[in-house]
């Protein structure tokens, strides 16, 4: 009886209130760390920590904006669309649906999910 | 030192076995895709891959062993090849079908 270790980590990050607020806010429009800190009323270090973890799970996408003054800043967009957890004959299977991938299945961590998306998109 | 023909025989068997294992792995991932998403497309793909690799090879392999050991008469060689080819054909048919099925 083993389960995908990624599932625990995924549930762990989603159980975090700050992480969920960041996802909720960035699902409306891309936001910078400063905007997130203001909007969700958390400190910038908190924002950065959550952003890093969310990026690690491919739930948040970073885009670099270039200002005219030659400095850049990053804005973040939620890529998470849906999480479904299935219990089937002794193991949990999590399926994460993400939005706008540059190729089908790109952000899927599971081979079978990636395979399905690639194949069905041919 | 084994004769070259014997070595080549073993290499052929090893390659066939390797193809079966890798094909089965791909088929297994397709099967998981089918189970996780209840996708008929992936169901057809996984069955096609299994027929094409695992099933066809197993029949050919077991058949050739039985023939070599004399458990089966030589008159069965052609039917065995026919069955193997049928599974291979059925396998690629299923894969082609899965390319065009949706859902």
Greatest Cα-to-Cα distance within chain B, rounded to the nearest angstrom: 56
pLDDT band at A14 (very low <50, low <70, confident <90, very high): very high
DSSP state of A67: -
Comparing CA positions, the residue from A2, A111, A106 lying closest to residue B27 is: A111
Report residue A5 as tokens: 């270790």
Quick one: average pLDDT of A47-67?
86
Q: Looking at residues A37-51, what average pLDDT do you find?
A: 92
- Taking CA–CA distances from B33, the nearest residue in chain A reads A112
Amino acid A101: pLDDT: 57
How buried is B38 (Cβ within 10 angstroms: 0-12 exposed, 13-18 middle, 19+ buried)?
exposed
What token pair was written down for B42? 């992936």
Angle at A46 between CA A43 and CA A48, to 5 degrees: 110
**Residue with more model confidence, A2 or B67:** B67
- Asked if the Cβ–Cβ distance from A120 to B29 is below 8 Å, we say no
SS3 assignment for chain B? CCCHHHHHHHHHHHHHHHHHHHHHHHHHHHHHHHHHHCCHHHHHHHHHHHHHHHHHHHHHHHHHHHHHHCCCCHHHHHHHHHHHHHHHHHHHHHHHHHHHCCC
Is the pTM higher than 0.85? The answer reads no
Contact flag A95-B99 (C-beta cutoff 8 Å): no
Instruction: Please name the residue of chain A whose CA is at the shortest distance from the CA of residue B102.
Output: A120
Residue range A70-120, pLDDT digits in tens: 677 888 988 888 889 889 888 888 888 887 655 566 667 788 888 888 888
Asked whether residue A1 carries a pLDDT value surpassing 50, the answer given is no
pLDDT of chain B, 103 residues: tens digit per residue: 678 888 898 898 888 888 889 989 999 999 999 998 888 899 999 999 999 999 998 888 888 888 888 888 888 888 999 999 999 999 999 999 998 886 5
B23 within 8 A of B47, measured Cβ to Cβ: no
Of B32, B41, B98, the CB nearest to A112: B32
Taken in order of first residue, the domains within chain A and their CATH numbers are: 7-100 (1.10.10.10)
């Amino acid at each position: 009886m083993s389960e995908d270790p990624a599932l625990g980590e995924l549930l762990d990050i989603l159980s975090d209130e700050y992480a969920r607020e960041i996802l909720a806010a960035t699902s409306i429009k891309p936001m910078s760390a400063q905007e997130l800190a203001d909007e969700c009323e958390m400190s910038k270090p908190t924002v950065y920590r959550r952003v890093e973890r969310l990026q690690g799970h491919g739930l948040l996408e970073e885009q670099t904006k270039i200002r005219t003054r030659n400095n850049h800043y990053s804005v973040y967009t939620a890529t998470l669309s849906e999480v479904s957890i299935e219990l089937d004959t002794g193991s949990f299977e999590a399926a994460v649906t993400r939005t706008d991938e540059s190729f089908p299945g790109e952000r899927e961590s599971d081979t079978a999910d990636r395979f399905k998306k690639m194949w069905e998109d041919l | 030192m084994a004769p070259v023909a014997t070595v080549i025989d073993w290499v052929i068997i090893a390659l066939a076995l390797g193809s079966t294992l890798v094909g089965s792995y791909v088929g297994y991932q397709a099967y998981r895709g089918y189970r996780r998403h209840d996708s008929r497309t992936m169901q057809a793909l996984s069955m096609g891959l299994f027929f094409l690799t695992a099933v066809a090879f197993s029949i050919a392999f077991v058949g050739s062993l039985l023939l070599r050991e004399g458990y089966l008469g030589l008159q069965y060689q052609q039917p065995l090849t026919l069955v193997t080819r049928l599974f291979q054909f059925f396998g690629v048919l299923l894969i082609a079908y899965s390319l065009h099925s949706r859902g």
